[in-house]
Structure 1
């Protein structure tokens, strides 16, 4: 391949443009046909093919869907295996996931692990929710990629870049705005699931970056701070807290319990900070 640094990005943009045009035209025809005529049981595209071409159209769409699903599945398996292998290489997963099959040259353990996790998620019956959550995460990644592009262009303006960004910086800014707008269209529960997974990933990454020792000290310091703050609240707002309860005895039980929890937080925090392990 001649000049792959420019040829590959151009091919990606050209393919994206062609597919976007095809999808838009197919969606326009499918919605238009099914909207004007009757709708038979099935998906929108199958309905339109059945209306236009009869039973043969339905069979053609079914066969095309099977082949498309197989290609998508093989691509997804390859991608998830690469991600799992990279996580293993960086120390977030066991080293065994980097094992390569002697005959086929594939990361078979990563493929098996990813397939098992996919089957577990699919068995929950929340495939649609997981799909929305994945779309939500993809939009977040798209935003971060565009932000990274702008930051790299600002921090390293003299770095060699064979491929130029069309209408920079308006193109990445427009991408950020569009992706951010689409975030509000995603179903709320799915968005919450996506944010939760992102939060868990950030916590794991943070712990990995700072190390277990520093993370334990940070948690210990937070415990000490929470405990001392609770004791101060108990001391200065004792009368207001007591007024909330109908019984003096219940108020006393609550205040004593609050004091015990605060002291426990301070104690565990100090043990974490002072421990030499």
Structure 2
């Protein structure tokens, strides 16, 4: 069996031209797409929880450590995207470099990443909205706000927001990007309001000790807060809709990653500077901190920013999920009939609707707090392989035209693998067990269905 058959890069380019997508996204759109996918739950929740449980004030360093792993992977993605400007992100890149079997596993893990993360974010959106409505005096029935395991019937707000964004994504990419841009402006404005209120109240004594859990705490914190960054690869899935993908996609990936890392670091330092880190283990640490320093209206401000932030994260992740499904379907890895593009809206409407229904079912009926960590390991494994694949192509196919060349590739490639591998090593054992089971299920599907139906097999 030829498990390592590869798609020629010229054929990938032809696939992109025949996809039916409209190239209407600029580099500016892609930077905002990246910010929309990264700034959300991480900055409003993980900064506090990570500080309280894992790293103390050193959580700011944890964010930098996680971003370094993303930066190495992002540089690899940027070179890949300038060579292989197609939907599918790391899946398409691996298909062109390491062959079909490895590509399927990467795609399978990207499905895990996007589906689990979308479900987690939808549930988080529901929590913030319900909290805001309850604080406003509304008496809401728990039956339609909680999953069955938590005493309810269905988490209806999570289902609602997922299917509402589904309609928006089906109607058009440009329209979705416009809504994303507005919401990104709102949540960045809220972050700046928080900083303006909080910075004058910093007490440097709250930073002592800076590393209460030691250096291991920084590493453990980085492995957990990596969840905050996992959406940035959604930028790479937009390559077939970018006006100039070889230039715009690298700008979108690296530009959004730089902006988000800076914001995470500043917010983490300020948050742990105004309140002792031991008090931040709650669902709304930023709002809590503002109340502590005498700004009770901060809760409402942060809630609005969090809702906008989480909405953009969910929007971009659902967008990315549909493009990964589309790429797998187009290649025959999953039923080919579902990769149709709408004649009027020029969007992959069937995979978008199917993916959103899957996410809404998980968010509506399943308690997902435990499996959320699986999103981290699925993404890290894809980044690990991307670091190896771009190095492999540089050695074996140096003649390929590259719109962007990763600097110091013989350092960046291995560092992407080492940093992502190190973060995977620091994840809990139970996460590894579930990940291995997920991969085994994927391998079975590949040999039972995908290998036989692959376009390269025909």
The reply to whether TM is greater than 0.5 is: yes
1:133 alignment partner, one of 374, 384, 389: 374
The alpha carbon displacement at 1:168 in A equals 2.1
Unaligned runs of 5+ in 1: 213-277
The more displaced of 18-27 and 164-173 is: 164-173
For residue 406 of structure 2, what is the aligned residue in structure 1?
A: 165
For residue 128 of structure 2, what is the aligned residue in structure 1?
A: none
For residue 311 of structure 2, what is the aligned residue in structure 1?
A: 70
For residue 296 of structure 2, what is the aligned residue in structure 1?
A: 55
The alpha carbon displacement at 1:141 in A equals 0.3
1:110 alignment partner, one of 345, 351, 356: 351
Cα distance change, pair 169–52 in 1 and its aligned pair in 2 (3 A): farther
Distance in 2, Cα, partners of 1:141 & 1:18: 23
Distance in 2, Cα, partners of 1:151 & 1:33: 47
The more displaced of 198-207 and 19-28 is: 198-207
The alpha carbon displacement at 1:84 in A equals 2.1
* Structure of greater Rg: 1
Residue 127 of structure 1 aligns to a residue whose secondary structure is coil
Distance in 1, Cα, partners of 2:247 & 2:352: 32
Alignment size in residue pairs: 212
The alpha carbon displacement at 1:23 in A equals 0.4
Correspondence 1:13 to 2:254: yes
The alpha carbon displacement at 1:40 in A equals 9.2
**8 Å contact kept, 2:383–2:420:** yes
What is the RMSD computed on CA atoms of the aligned residues? Answer: 2.8
2:396 alignment partner, one of 155, 163, 171: 155
The alpha carbon displacement at 1:87 in A equals 2.5
Correspondence 1:180 to 2:421: yes
The more displaced of 37-46 and 15-24 is: 37-46
For residue 87 of structure 1, what is the aligned residue in structure 2?
A: 328
The alpha carbon displacement at 1:3 in A equals 7.5
Distance in 2, Cα, partners of 1:7 & 1:108: 25
Deviation per CA, 1:159-215: give whole Å up to 9, x if none.
222322122211121121111010122222222222221222233224446539xxx
Cα distance change, pair 123–184 in 1 and its aligned pair in 2 (3 A): farther
Distance in 2, Cα, partners of 1:10 & 1:22: 18
Cα distance change, pair 162–114 in 1 and its aligned pair in 2 (3 A): closer
Correspondence 1:28 to 2:28: no
**8 Å contact kept, 2:333–2:450:** no
Q: Calculate the TM-score normalised by the size of structure 1.
A: 0.66
For residue 255 of structure 1, what is the aligned residue in structure 2?
A: none
**8 Å contact kept, 1:33–1:48:** yes
Deviation per CA, 1:96-115: give whole Å up to 9, x if none.
42234455443332222212
**8 Å contact kept, 1:49–1:61:** no
The alpha carbon displacement at 1:26 in A equals 0.7
Distance in 2, Cα, partners of 1:90 & 1:75: 23
Unaligned runs of 5+ in 2: 1-25, 27-242, 454-458
Correspondence 1:44 to 2:288: no
Cα distance change, pair 87–14 in 1 and its aligned pair in 2 (3 A): closer
Distance in 2, Cα, partners of 1:110 & 1:140: 24
Residue 416 of structure 2 aligns to a residue whose secondary structure is helix
Distance in 1, Cα, partners of 2:287 & 2:331: 45
